[in-house]
Structure 1
Amino acid sequence: MAKQDRAIRTRQTILEAAAVVFDERGYDAATINEILARAEVTKGALYFHFPSKEDLALAVIDAQAEATSALLDLPGGCRMQRLVDLGMVFAHQLLVDPVLRGSVRLTMEHGSAALLHRSGPFTGWIELHTRLLAEGKERGEVLPDVVPVEVAELLVGAFGGINALSQSVSDRADLERRAIVLYEHLMPSIAVPAVLARLDMAPGRGARALALATLEPVGAA
């Protein structure tokens, strides 16, 4: 068991180191030697867990899908609050989670990284947004003319845009503010007035929702 635990820790160390290098350098410029130096592991240990740089990059990309799945446990029964929380929590996580930042860089990057299978995170985000919008519509939280999949694609695309802009101009220091502005402008065309009035889109919402999610796992409510 101790050996297995050590292997899990080593794999995570390599994954985190690779994510940082990919985030800083991009897929093409990143080298295995840089990742080894940052992870402080042997080449044999790295190749035991990840046979190639491509496998490493794909594992980093997969981390974003895992983060998306974890957001299913955001607290509260209001589907439109959960919809807002998806973006607010993700904005918060991008400031504190190096693996997530590396995943986003690889997902958005062109060049050789385009050869990687990068659609998974986008597909996952769209499916999750579509599901919440459809459930919200069934519960009377969403305006009648809203088409869930169309709005889901708009939200995911818009968030990707503000993330790229924020990274370019402030290294994501203003990402939360930009996310708030995005939701303040879009949610009135999505949520019914009674629900809109109750939505928490205030600064710090991402950290608050994430903290609640670790304390109050959500069931099927």
Structure 2
Amino acid sequence: MVRLTRVQQQKRTRRSVLAAAREEFTEHGYALAKVDRIAERAELTRGAVYSNFPSKRALYLAVLIDMVENATAGEPPMTSPMTPAEALGVFARTWLERLPLVGDTASGGRLHLRSLVGVLDDEHGRTVLAQVVRLEALLLAIALESCEPAHAMPVRRVRLAELVLTLLDGSGHLAESAPGFGDPFDLARACEHLAGIDLTDTWTPSYLPYVAPAQPCGDTWDPPTGLADQISGDRVDFGADGLIAVLGAGRLAAAEEAVRSARPGEQVTVAIVTDDSAETGRLVRLRITDLIGCLRHVFAPEVWQRVRLVLDDEALTASAIGLTDLDDETEAAVHVQGGAIVARAHGRGAAYAASTADASNGPQPRSAQT
């Protein structure tokens, strides 16, 4: 009973800090916000704030995550539009709702925009953000690819997704410095028209022929429990046959490799790990949660039924498959069949190696085109 009371108190303290921090960031912006003033607003000590959030950046990211989660809670899934152009129009209009209004204060507008300008002021933060955007483009692309007619040849839509995100993020940066400039309806129509551009998009990584073979094995394992899929919100069943890729925050672009090289009909689980959950982990969570919130306005959850995305802050997945010494450059994968791990791979190309491995004859060549 004492433990439950302590947990409840910790939750109340956290809520008070987040509410006070949101007021501080809205009033003063990120750069001029002070942790001492946040503590005063929450009627707590400076130490109490830092015991929950180790830095101002971690607190700012937590405030944004709280805003995004509250904004997307309880949204009903929608039926996927018929064409990629229609889908991009709805997606763009949803995304553009975050743009600051002319009457917003500068600081309040930046917070509503989920602005990271001046927040990621180091090389590591920018590198991770670049990798997260690559993952965002993949998730949007998978949804757009589902809009193609069932009888049509498979089409990769990652370059289209990257172009759309570039346009939308660019409009956000411009709106931050010049609120009210640009018509959101024009931007949405522009995104629709981008679907008609022939980008000659294929997935043919040049390094695949040189990927080291996976190690065949027959290891029993104890799958982790209680982890949720960030896309559907459902609990992940790690016991199902399929590919499990464990990626550090600096290797998120390899998620496409896992998706494209997985065997037909098998599940693909991407577990993201980091050695800095307070800042790097929160940055990944913020961006992915925000994007998925927009995607749920447009696409039904079944679009990503073969792909599961786990934000594994405690590295439970990595531990279950025997990984240690994790960092943002981690890249490893295992292939699970019949409740056992039948192949293991590490390093660049790990997902491809594990998925294409043959337990008796080693890796088999597979088409890279999807």
* TM-score (norm. length: structure 1): 0.60
Q: What's the % identity of the aligned pairs? A: 23
Q: Supply the distance in 2 between the matched residues of 1:40 and 1:99 (Cα, whole angstroms).
A: 26
Paired letter, 1:104: R
Q: Supply the distance in 2 between the matched residues of 1:3 and 1:62 (Cα, whole angstroms).
A: 24
CA contact (8 A) 1:75 1:82 kept: no
Matched with 1:41 is 44
1:113 is paired with a residue whose SS is coil
Tell me whether 1:162 sits opposite 2:171 in the alignment: yes
2:80 is paired with a residue whose SS is coil
Q: CA deviation at 1:32?
A: 0.7
CA contact (8 A) 2:93 2:184 kept: yes
1:54-203 matches, cutoff 5 A: 54-60=57-63, 74-78=77-81, 80=84, 81-93=86-98, 101=111, 104-105=114-115, 107=116, 109-110=117-118, 113-115=120-122, 117=125, 119=129, 122-137=133-148, 139=150, 148-170=157-179, 174=180, 178-190=183-195
Q: How many residues align?
A: 190
Q: Supply the distance in 2 between the matched residues of 1:64 and 1:83 (Cα, whole angstroms).
A: 24
Paired letter, 2:165: V
**Can you list the C-alpha shifts for 1:162-205, whole angstroms capped at 9, x where unaligned?**
122223333xxx58x7332112123134169xxxxxxxxxxxxx
Unaligned runs of 5+ in 2: 102-107, 198-292, 304-370
Q: CA deviation at 1:4?
A: 3.0
2:142 is paired with a residue whose SS is helix
Greater shift after overlay, 13-22 or 26-35? Answer: 13-22
Matched with 1:196 is none
Matched with 2:219 is none
Paired letter, 2:91: L
The structure having more radius of gyration, on CA atoms, is 2
Paired letter, 2:159: E
Tell me whether 1:51 sits opposite 2:54 in the alignment: yes
> Greater relative contact order: 1 or 2 (C-alpha under 8 angstroms, separation 6 or more)?
1
**Can you list the C-alpha shifts for 1:62-119, whole angstroms capped at 9, x where unaligned?**
55886899799641122745544433333335669x79926722x2x14x63226250
Q: CA deviation at 1:43?
A: 2.1
Unaligned runs of 5+ in 1: 193-209
CA contact (8 A) 2:20 2:42 kept: yes
CA contact (8 A) 1:14 1:39 kept: yes
1:20-31 matches, cutoff 5 A: 20-22=23-25, 25-31=28-34
Q: Supply the distance in 2 between the matched residues of 1:66 and 1:15 (Cα, whole angstroms).
A: 13
CA contact (8 A) 2:109 2:176 kept: no
* TM-score (norm. length: structure 2): 0.40
Matched with 2:302 is 220
RMSD over aligned Cα atoms: 4.5
Q: Supply the distance in 1 between the matched residues of 2:80 and 2:145 (Cα, whole angstroms).
A: 14
Paired letter, 1:114: D
Q: CA deviation at 1:130?
A: 1.8
Greater shift after overlay, 29-38 or 9-18? Answer: 9-18
Would you tell me which structure has more helix in proportion to its own residues? 1
- In structure 2, the CA distance between the partners of 1:31 and 1:90, relative to structure 1 (3 Å rule), is same
**Can you list the C-alpha shifts for 1:119-178, whole angstroms capped at 9, x where unaligned?**
06534532332222222236589xx897511111111111112122223333xxx58x73
Paired letter, 2:114: V
- In structure 2, the CA distance between the partners of 1:69 and 1:117, relative to structure 1 (3 Å rule), is farther
